[in-house]
Amino acid sequence: MRIEVAEEVAFCFGVQRALRMVRGALRRGRKALSLGPLIHNPQVVGELEELGLRVVNDLSEITSGAVVVRTHGALPEVLAEAERRGLEVIDATCPFVKRAQQAAAQMHQEGYTVIVLGERDHPETLAILACTDGEAAVVESVADGASALLTSGGRTGRRLGLVAQTTQPLERFAALVAALLPLCEELKAANTVCDATVGRQAAATRLAQEADVMIVVGGHESANTRRLAEICRRHAPRTYHIQTAAEIRAEWLRGAEYVGITGGASTPPEALQEARKCLEELAE
Ligand code: SF4
C-alpha cells in the first residue's frame, strides 16, 4: 500500500504566528488567558495549558493577566471592553482574518449591502459580521446567496459587497460571484480566502483525485479541516476525518492501494507523523 502526505500540511502562517506570540509570552512568565481555545486542536491547546495558558469563555472571567485573542479574531465590543478595563491584549488575530474584517467594514461604510460567505456560527464569521454592525447577510452556500439578496432589502438598492471567511473553498467564492453578478448593479468582491487555504486545498485535491482512501487529520472543531475533508470527499468518497491516529480503523483500508494524508492549518506535524506510522503498521 502506497502512503503519501499532501504537499502543504504544516501549520499555516497564522497559527505559527499565534503560537509564537503565546509561547513567547508564557515563557517570559506572563499570565495569559485565551478567549476560547487558541486554535481548534486539543493536543496543541493541551500543550499550551501545560505552559500555563488558561482558556476562558468570557472576558468577565478575566480579572488580571493578558487576554489572548485567537487567530479567528474577536468581536469589536470584546476588544473595546478589554481596553476599557485596562487589560493587556495579545492579539493573535491572523492578519488574513483582519483583512476580511477590514474589507467588510469598508464596504459597509461605503453603503454596500454586505454578504459574507462563511459558516454562520463560526467565531471568525461572527467577528466579520460585527464589523458591519451586524447588518451583513451570512450565506453558507451559493444558493443561499441569491435568497439572502432577495430578503436583505439592500441598504442602497443593488450595490453588493462580498467577502469570505478565510477558509472557504475558492471555487465556492467564485461561484457565488457568478451567481450574484446578474442580480445586482454593482458587485464589489474582496477575495479574502487566505493563500494558505488555497494552497492546502489544491494540494489535498490533487492527492484525493488519485488516492483510494484519504485521511484528513485535524481537530473535529476545526473549520478548515472539516472543509478539507469535504473537498477530499468529492474526489475520494472514502475520506475520513480524524483527530488522532487512534481513530484509524483497519477496515477503512480494505482493498486500498494508495492512501493520502492531509492535515488542517492547526494540525501539529506529530499528529500527521503518527497517522502515517499507524497506516504503515496496518499495511504490513
Ligand atoms: S488558515 Fe489562513 S486565515 Fe486562518 S490562521 Fe491560517 S493563515 Fe490565517
Determine the atom of ligand 1 nearest the C-alpha atom of 71.
5
Assess if CATH 3.40.50.410 describes domain 13-94. no
pLDDT digit string, tens, across residues 185-241: 899 999 999 999 999 999 999 999 999 999 999 999 888 899 999 999 999 999 999
Map out the domains of the chain as residue ranges: 2-10+196-283, 13-94, 96-189
What length does the chain have?
A: 284
pLDDT of residue 41: 86
Task: Say yes or no to pLDDT of 174 above 50.
Answer: yes
> Per residue in 109-122, pLDDT tens?
999 989 999 999 99
Interatomic CA distance for residues 186 and 249, integer angstroms: 51
Closest approach atom of ligand 1 to CA 13: 7
Residue nearest (by alpha carbon) to ligand 1 atom 5: 14
CATH level 2 (architecture), domain 96-189: 3-Layer(aba) Sandwich (3.40)
pTM for this entry: 0.87
In whole angstroms, give the CA distance from residue 239 to residue 208.
9
CA of 44 to the centre of ligand 1 (A): 16
Ligand 1: residues with CB < 6 A are 12-15, 71, 94, 96-97, 166-167, 194, 196-197, 224, 265
Please say if 88 is a catalytic residue. Answer: no
Catalytic: which of 8, 119, 124, 140? 124
CA distance 5 to 262: 6
- Ligand 1 atom closest to Cα of residue 39: 5
Mean pLDDT of the 36-55 span = 90
Percent of the chain with pLDDT strictly greater than 70 = 96
Instruction: Tell which atom from ligand 1 comes closest to the C-alpha of 96.
Output: 3
Q: Please give the grid coordinates belonging to residue 271.
A: 499528529
Q: Which CATH number fits domain 2-10+196-283: 3.40.50.920, 1.20.120.1200, 3.40.1010.20, 3.30.9.10?
A: 3.40.1010.20
When pLDDT is averaged across residues 69-92 and rounded to a whole number, the result is: 93
CA 162 – ligand 1 centroid, Å: 19
> How confident is the model at residue 281, as a pLDDT?
95
pLDDT at 59: 93
Residue 155's pLDDT is 43
The beta strand positions in the chain, using DSSP E, are 2-5, 32-35, 54-56, 66-69, 88-91, 113-117, 137-139, 159-164, 186-189, 213-217, 239-242, 258-263
Alpha carbon nearest to ligand 1 atom 8, residue: 14
Amino acid identity for residue 30 in this structure: R
CA 183 / ligand 1 centre spacing (Å):
31
pLDDT for position 42: 86
Say how many Å lie between the CA of residue 167 and the centre of ligand 1: 7
The H-assigned helical ranges of 56-116 are: 76-84, 95-109
Q: Are 2-10+196-283 and 13-94 in the same CATH fold? A: no
Centroid of ligand 1 to alpha carbon of 254 (angstroms): 35
